[in-house]
């Protein structure tokens, strides 16, 4: 049965711990989404370029990461991340041991996964822009940089917001997998509390409610951004 008294704040309940775990989930999600978008910008550009090598690298990256289980990606980063960083450090003359903490591993792993989906969102958003606008801008004498930040960026963002909203929801829920790294987020805290109190149903329902609250609020926020970005544009059927 659900035991509400186990969720009160203070020494007698787990409310404080779940609040901290929820904040950690949000922080990891934001950092991972930011890293994912950063990677996706370059990956989307590589897919859109005429350079066959860059296009192959970007396509290989998105195909491989999306083609294997997300938990496996996290494990690969968890067990192989430090080794890769140390090899890079040796190039610069550092030979000491480098250990990545759980937060860094979690952000990098979820960010790499998130980037594969954001890449396709940004690529599709760019392709949705009428090429005639770019040609008109060139005719008016705008430089490449002016075309980029005055024409391309605003429209890419407008078209990308709905897709990025979906990527955010996936990223938020993917944080439930990083409990294997030892980082205490919602699912890790759920396991700890369940093992101590021997009342898994109470804490599983709590975790479900917290994720539902976060995803619902996030969905409304992205819907608001979408409405704001579409102001002044005529919607055609």
CATH number of 20's domain: 1.10.3720.10
Does residue 136 form part of some domain? no
In sequence order, what are the residues at sequence separation of 6 or more whose Cβ sits closer than 8 angstroms to the Cβ of residue 199? 3, 6
Does residue 86 form part of some domain? yes
Does residue 153 form part of some domain? no
Q: What is the spatial distance between Cα 204 and Cα 189, in angstroms, rounded to a whole number? A: 10
Question: For 71-88, how does the pLDDT look when each residue is reduced to its tens digit (9 = 90+)?
Answer: 999 999 988 888 888 888
Does residue 57 form part of some domain? yes
Q: What is the spatial distance between Cα 78 and Cα 68, in angstroms, rounded to a whole number? A: 16
Q: Is the pLDDT of residue 236 over 60?
A: no
Q: Which domain holds residue 122?
A: 9-129+162-229
Q: Is the pLDDT of residue 12 over 80?
A: no
Overall average pLDDT of the 161-189 stretch: 92
For residue 173, what pLDDT is reported?
92
For residue 18, what pLDDT is reported?
92
Does residue 143 form part of some domain? no
C-alpha distances out from residue 199 to 3, 37, 185, 212, 222, Å: 8, 39, 18, 21, 35
Q: What is the spatial distance between Cα 217 and Cα 222, in angstroms, rounded to a whole number? A: 9
What is the number of helices (H) and of strands (E) in the chain? 9, 0
Q: What is the spatial distance between Cα 124 and Cα 118, in angstroms, rounded to a whole number? A: 10
Q: What is the pTM of this model?
A: 0.87
Taking residue 88's Cβ as centre, other Cβ atoms within 10 Å add up to 11
Helix (H, G, I), strand (E, B) or coil at 107: helix
* Total of domains in the chain: 1
Does residue 149 form part of some domain? no
For residue 128, what pLDDT is reported?
86
- Tell me how far apart the terminal alpha carbons of the chain are, to the nearest angstrom: 50
Question: For 84-119, how does the pLDDT look when each residue is reduced to its tens digit (9 = 90+)?
Answer: 888 888 888 877 777 788 999 999 999 999 999 999
Q: Residue 57: enclosing H or E segment and its boundaries?
A: helix 52-67
Task: Identify the band that residue 169 occupies on the pLDDT scale cut at 50, 70 and 90.
Answer: very high
Does residue 119 form part of some domain? yes
Does residue 110 form part of some domain? yes
For residue 145, what pLDDT is reported?
82
Residue 184 near residue 24, CB atoms below 8 Å: yes
């Amino acid at each position: 049965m659900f035991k509400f008294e186990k969720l009160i704040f203070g020494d007698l309940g787990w409310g404080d711990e779940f609040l901290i775990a929820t904040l950690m989930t949000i922080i990891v999600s934001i950092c991972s989404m930011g890293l994912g978008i950063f990677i996706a910008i370059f990956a989307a550009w590589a897919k859109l370029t005429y350079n066959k090598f860059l296009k192959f690298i970007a396509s290989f990256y998105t195909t491989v990461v999306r083609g294997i289980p997300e938990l496996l990606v996290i494990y690969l980063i968890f067990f192989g991340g430090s080794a890769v960083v140390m090899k890079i450090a040796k190039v610069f003359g550092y030979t000491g041991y480098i250990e990545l903490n759980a937060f860094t591993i979690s952000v990098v792993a979820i960010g790499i996964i998130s980037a594969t989906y954001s890449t396709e969102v940004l690529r599709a958003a760019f392709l949705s822009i009428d090429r005639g606008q770019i040609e008109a801008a060139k005719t008016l004498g705008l430089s490449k940089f002016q075309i980029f930040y005055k024409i391309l960026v605003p429209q890419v963002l407008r078209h990308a917001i709905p897709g990025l909203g979906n990527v955010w929801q996936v990223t938020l829920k993917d944080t439930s997998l990083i409990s294997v790294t030892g980082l205490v987020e919602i699912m890790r805290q759920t396991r700890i509390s369940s093992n101590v109190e021997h009342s898994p149903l109470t804490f599983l329902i709590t975790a479900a409610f917290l994720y539902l609250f976060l995803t619902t609020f996030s969905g409304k926020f992205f819907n608001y951004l979408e409405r704001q970005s579409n102001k002044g544009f005529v919607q055609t059927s």
